[in-house]
Amino acid sequence: MRNAFAQEIEKLAQDDPRIILLSGDIGNRLFDSFKERFPERFINCGVAEANMVGMAAGLAMAGMRPVIYTIASFLIYRPYEQLRLDVGYHGLPVCIVGVGGGLSYASNGATHHALEDIAVMRAIPGMQVLNAGDAWEVRAGLADALRSEKPCYLRIGKKREPLVHTEAISQPLLGRCISLGDGKQAALLASGNLLPHAAEARQLLSARGTSISLFSSPSVHPLDTELLETLFESGQPIFILEEHNRNGGLGTATLEWANDQGLDTRQLIRIGTPNTFIHRTTTQQDSRETCGLTAQDIADKIHSRLRQEANPT
């Protein structure tokens, strides 16, 4: 996803001279082409995230469209007050791009895990939050965020994630889910880098005779309330999948919304990481296995819930 980000930001910067890219001392070689073409509009801000966010806010105040980029765990947790005040309180159009969302950097340890980032970012009033599921969503999300002229957090993965979409996405991402297949018995909404697992889980279920609809749901804030209304109305179980702490992510955001609407939240099942730090030496795949987030785990969870509903004890 990061290569897609680098290509897309260069393309967008070509058309909009207000775009300036700020990096927190990462992306070695990744932005060589951008730097060569727009040397004035690339700043390595060093390992000083608080200032990177504050400076981005100042740039936005003076008419630029800053895009700030570093590892999600460092970008969100360290300078949270700058994100809340300098960007959020001022309502400035800063695009905040966190690379390595979720467990992308699992092998680097919990310092590098971004599993609470969405929870805290969606708590900032006026902050839009997008969680990209593949490289096409990174491209569409970045363009969408810049077009919105409002603060936006765009969480992306790392590298070599499989593509789920087969072509460029033409619809807006903010506040909209993307349908990836119909189904009768349940709906699965996947947000972010587990999207390929969700697609695989749907196939596994189909092989077992279970038919579910699948939606990519990159937009955590705003929610696609139109789709959610329809899904709740159908009475089907709605599964929400994300590589994020089950507390505070898209699942929780949806629960809160549904509760506010007076809907039956028992229909909603959140699938995410447990509310614990991961101390185990691990890889992304290993940690997904530990957390029950493989395609097989997801399919099993859905299957078992549907069986439970069919045969209540």
Partner 1 sequence: MKDLSTYAASIRSKVIQLSHQARTPHLGSSLSCADLIVALYKSHLRIDPQNAQDPTRDRFFLSKGHAVTTLYAVLAKQGFFPESELDQTYAEPGSRLPEHPSRNCVPGIEASTGSLGHGLGLATGVALANRIQNIDAKTFALLSDGECNEGSIWEAAMTAAALQLPKLCAIVDVNKWQATGRSAEVLALEPLHEKFASFGWETHRIDGHDFAAIDKALSSFPHPSGKPTAIIADTIKGKGVSFMEDDNNWHYRIPNADEVIAANKELGLA
Report the DSSP pairing between strands 219-221 and 128-131. antiparallel
Interface with partner 1 (CB under 8 A), residue from 30, 56, 119, 231: 56
Give the nearer residue to partner 1 in terms of CB position, either 77 or 89.
89
- Say how far apart CA 124 and CA 129 lie, in whole Å: 10
Q: Residue 182: count other Cβ atoms within 10 Å of its Cβ.
A: 10
If one asks whether residue 85 binds partner 1 (CB under 8 A), the answer comes out as yes
If one asks whether residue 66 binds partner 1 (CB under 8 A), the answer comes out as yes
Give the nearer residue to partner 1 in terms of CB position, either 84 or 165.
84
Of 81-89, 125-133, 153-161, 168-176, which segment contacts partner 1 by CB under 8 A? 81-89
If one asks whether residue 41 binds partner 1 (CB under 8 A), the answer comes out as yes
If one asks whether residue 76 binds partner 1 (CB under 8 A), the answer comes out as no
Give the nearer residue to partner 1 in terms of CB position, either 15 or 233.
15
Interface with partner 1 (CB under 8 A), residue from 24, 27, 54, 93: 54
Q: How far is the CB of 142 from partner 1 (least distance, A)?
A: 20
Taking 3-state DSSP, the helix, strand and coil percentages for the chain, each rounded to the nearest 5, stand at 45, 20, 35
If one asks whether residue 40 binds partner 1 (CB under 8 A), the answer comes out as yes
Give the nearer residue to partner 1 in terms of CB position, either 43 or 110.
43
Structure tokens at 61: 């105040």
Overall residue count recorded for the chain in this entry: 313
If one asks whether residue 86 binds partner 1 (CB under 8 A), the answer comes out as yes
Q: How far is the CB of 174 from partner 1 (least distance, A)?
A: 24
Report the DSSP beta bridge partners of residue 185.
none
If one asks whether residue 61 binds partner 1 (CB under 8 A), the answer comes out as yes
**CA neighbours closer than 13 Å in the CB half-sphere of residue 69:** 27
Q: List b or e across 170-180, with b for residues whose CB sees 16 or more CB atoms inside 10 angstroms.
A: eeebbebbbeb
If one asks whether residue 123 binds partner 1 (CB under 8 A), the answer comes out as no
If one asks whether residue 89 binds partner 1 (CB under 8 A), the answer comes out as yes
- Beta strands, E only, the chain: 19-23, 42-44, 65-71, 95-99, 128-131, 152-155, 178-179, 186-191, 212-216, 219-221, 238-245, 268-273
Q: How far is the CB of 165 from partner 1 (least distance, A)?
A: 35
